[in-house]
Structure 1
Amino acid sequence: MIDQQGWYDGAMHLPSPHCDFREDPNDISLLVIHNISLPPSQFGGPYIEQFFTGKLDSSQHPFFKVIQNMRVSAHCLIDREGKVIQFVPFIERAWHAGVSSFAGRERCNDYSIGIELEGDDISAYSEAQYNALASLTRELIRQYPLITKERITGHQYIAPLRKTDPGLVFDWRKFTALLD
């Protein structure tokens, strides 16, 4: 379930400072699926959580110096084991999509929910991730009925030429079949 404050009870809650208020919380109408791994293509460890909460130590890996000044978050992260971590309540705006457009409407952060899968564009996602994503998505659709199957997309489709996630290895057919 999702409570009145926008927190999912199936997730560990780890609040991020990288968010702000939505102009219209009743306009939540898009789900955007992403991937992330820190360092790139390495899984496990605390780095994604540290990044989304503004606590990443840039001395821990050379790549972290590249992203050290970024202020980024997602509503949720689903790790390789299927554990869901929520950083931003759904009624608030997470900073996940950047410059983006869906169906001719810009600024996707204003009206979307961003879910990160721990992964990269070339590694298959785990069964546990698909199952957790489907469970969370079904709950989001119940809570926010403007999100429909047709209004679920990948970051690569709302920010083409800039983003490639969740990548060609994300199995859209498998995921949508799990929603039924």
Structure 2
Amino acid sequence: MLTLTGHRLDQAHWCPSPNFNDRPDPDDISLLVIHNISLPPGQFGGPWIPALFNNALDPDAHPYFREIHELRVSSHFLIRRDGSLLQFVPCDKRAWHAGVSQFEQRDNCNDYSIGVELEGADTVPYEAAQYRSLAALTVLLQQHYPAITDPRITGHEHIAPGRKTDPGPAFQWARYRDDLVRFREEMA
């Protein structure tokens, strides 16, 4: 069972990122945004995602890194392929994950959302362990931040259409929602 203490997930490996700031309204945490990331693109494992989120990506380690090593981005959470969890930003702070975005006519989703990165790519199937961890994390976040209702869970592609494509067609929304139902039933 996952637990949250002081806006930090007790079971996550803590990798504090400098890429965050205060939310305009710290009590307004009302959206969950699901992303994907792989570094280099389509490759999994390794230290590259935490390095990116901590402004420590070596531009000489891979040609693609030369294009992105100066980005200042983060997310609250990363779910690895094996389902393990890393946390970069406390949930009560604004992580820099959504960029130019809008949900239900409201701009700047970073202001009021929690960002969860899945280690993956748009067209690569996600692992069962990732769906389980995402469902468990979602239920926990909804308990602590009740404004994140099921209709307020979305993908990066939905809040930044035309600019972003993740979590992509490989993400099975129906499976994720079924896992949420099963997880809630197990907890009841």
* TM-score, length of structure 2 as denominator length: 0.94
Match of 2:5, SS state, is coil
Runs of 4+ in 1 over 6 A off after TM superposition: none
Other-structure match for 1:115: 116
Asked if 1:179 is matched to 2:180, the reply is yes
Structure 1 residue 23, shift from structure 2 partner: 1.4
Other-structure match for 1:10: 11
Structure 1 residue 73, shift from structure 2 partner: 0.1
Asked if 1:70 is matched to 2:71, the reply is yes
**Per-residue deviation, residues 112-140 of structure 1 (Å, max 9, x unmatched):** 00000000001000000000000100000
Percent identity reads 55
Other-structure match for 1:53: 54
* Distance in 1 between residues matched to 2:143 and 2:51, nearest whole Å: 30
Other-structure match for 1:160: 161
Other-structure match for 1:89: 90
Residue ranges of structure 1 left out of the alignment (5+ in a row): none
Q: Residue type matched to 1:2 in 2?
A: L
* Distance in 2 between residues matched to 1:23 and 1:106, nearest whole Å: 13
Match of 1:62, SS state, is coil
Match of 2:46, SS state, is coil
Q: How many residues align?
A: 179
* TM-score, length of structure 1 as denominator length: 0.98
Residue ranges of structure 2 left out of the alignment (5+ in a row): 182-188
Other-structure match for 1:44: 45
Structure 1 residue 179, shift from structure 2 partner: 1.2
Q: Alpha carbon RMSD of aligned pairs, Å?
A: 0.6
Other-structure match for 1:34: 35
